[in-house]
Structure 1
Amino acid sequence: MKNGSNQNWDSYYSENRDFSLMTSQALTKVLAHVDARLEKICLDLGCGTGQLTRELFHRGYTCVGVDLAESALRTAKSLTVQASSLTYIRGDLETLQSTDLPRRQFSLITCKLVIAFVKDKERFLKLAHDSLAPGGTFAVVTPVFGSKICEKKPGICVSSEEIEKQLGDRFGNVTVEPLGDVECFISHRQS
């Protein structure tokens, strides 16, 4: 099945391919921006094979991972312990509605290596904003133009200025956290 960015994600993941993993150290940097007073509930948009979703689960989060590719979700489920606080659902980020999610509000929403493939970023950012609890954190992890990754794979990169502006327009605040070859754009829903 093809999504709005004309990528065949099922085929990609069926070939046992995956994207770069987020290191434990990088995740610790991101989590330093999360309000520890909020209940640990995470939505991982574009979870792929679930590496980040599982890491957050092991750090005490109740997690929902969403991805379009059934093959990626099969892999994620096969690598996951059975737990009611860790679920995966199939969903197209171009059409996903908050009513498709098992919860209405999350204290943390992650989006790792996905934003470059989302066609309607305004709609996507609205979904993220509306799905965040007051004070919640939205973390967009992506390579940006000018990085070493973009020299080889420009199609997976975004403009740092553009994503900062889009997040700023929706959330009102943006912090950029360098994470090696990628950057994490962190925004919060105002209380």
Structure 2
Amino acid sequence: MAAGPALSSPRPGGDRVPEGAPRHRPRPPRAGHRLRGGRAHALLARLGYRAVGIDCAPTAVTDARARHPAADIRLFDFDSDDAARLPHPAFAVITCRLVYRWAAGKPALLSRVRRLLAPGGVFWVVTSVHDPAQGRARSWDAETSEVELLTAGWSKVQVSPLGPSLRCYALRP
């Protein structure tokens, strides 16, 4: 896989690496992510990625920088800021943890991710999905149509359950 940055959205949760995730890199590729607390950033760095953490909330950036002072963590609104402000033109991994459900412009988000993925890259999305066995849908559960949009148009889609309703989608162009 060509080196490239990765973007992820570290939200509260474990540091478990999803099935299919690269566990060793011969050289440090770039990785970027959206964050809350910097956990995904730290995990990507431990895996050998040159990780870049982004978030549009100043408080999230401040918190992540306090927890991980050596990390490259930036204030950046993925929906509206110019991608030229990112330190790399392409990323090997882009992650989005517990953010996809709330994205206002999902088609635009997915299009932007596809443009920023390096050849052979992967887009990891962790989101809550409604499971009818769990009862009524919760406000944070992605709807069926949102999951269909998320998974459409990728050459490979791998789904890993992380809990009763949490899923990790590994999406490849």
Distance 1:128 1:150 in 2: 33
- Using CA pairs under 8 Å that are at least 6 residues apart, name the structure with larger relative contact order, 1 or 2: 2
1:101 aligns with 2:86: yes
* Superimposed CA distance per residue, residues 35-87 of structure 1 (whole angstroms, 9 cap, x where no aligned partner): 95785321113x122111112112221111111111111110011142xxx31
Alignment of 1:82-97 (within 5 A): 82=70, 86-97=71-82
The change in CA–CA distance for 1:164 and 1:34 in structure 2 (over 3 A counts) is: farther
Given that 2:124 and 2:171 are in contact with CA atoms closer than 8 Å, whether structure 1 keeps it comes out as yes
The change in CA–CA distance for 1:97 and 1:62 in structure 2 (over 3 A counts) is: same
Pick aligned residue for 2:45 from 49, 54, 57: 57
Alignment of 1:151-170 (within 5 A): 154-159=138-143, 161-170=144-153
Alignment of 1:23-38 (within 5 A): 23-24=14-15, 26-27=16-17, 29-30=18-19, 32-34=20-22
Distance 2:134 2:54 in 1: 25
Aligned residues: 162
Pick aligned residue for 1:41 from 3, 20, 30: 30
* Superimposed CA distance per residue, residues 84-137 of structure 1 (whole angstroms, 9 cap, x where no aligned partner): xx3111122321332121111111110000001101001101111111111101
Match of 2:162 in 1: 179
Distance 1:124 1:71 in 2: 22
SS at match of 2:94: strand
Distance 1:149 1:107 in 2: 35
Distance 1:100 1:128 in 2: 15
SS at match of 1:154: coil
Distance 1:174 1:88 in 2: 29
Distance 1:100 1:127 in 2: 14
Q: Percent identity?
A: 23
What is the TM-score normalised by the length of structure 1?
Answer: 0.74
Q: Runs (4+) of structure 1 moved beyond 4 Å?
A: 35-39, 147-151
Matched AA of 2:31: C
Distance 1:88 1:147 in 2: 38
Distance 1:185 1:70 in 2: 27
* Superimposed CA distance per residue, residues 123-171 of structure 1 (whole angstroms, 9 cap, x where no aligned partner): 10111111111110100001101278885x8222202x43443234342
Match of 2:116 in 1: 131
What is the TM-score normalised by the length of structure 2?
Answer: 0.80
Matched AA of 1:179: L
Distance 1:88 1:163 in 2: 29
Distance 2:115 2:161 in 1: 26
Pick aligned residue for 1:118 from 94, 97, 103: 103
Distance 2:54 2:119 in 1: 21
Structure with the bigger percentage of helix: 1
5+ residue gaps in structure 1?
1-17
Distance 1:187 1:105 in 2: 16
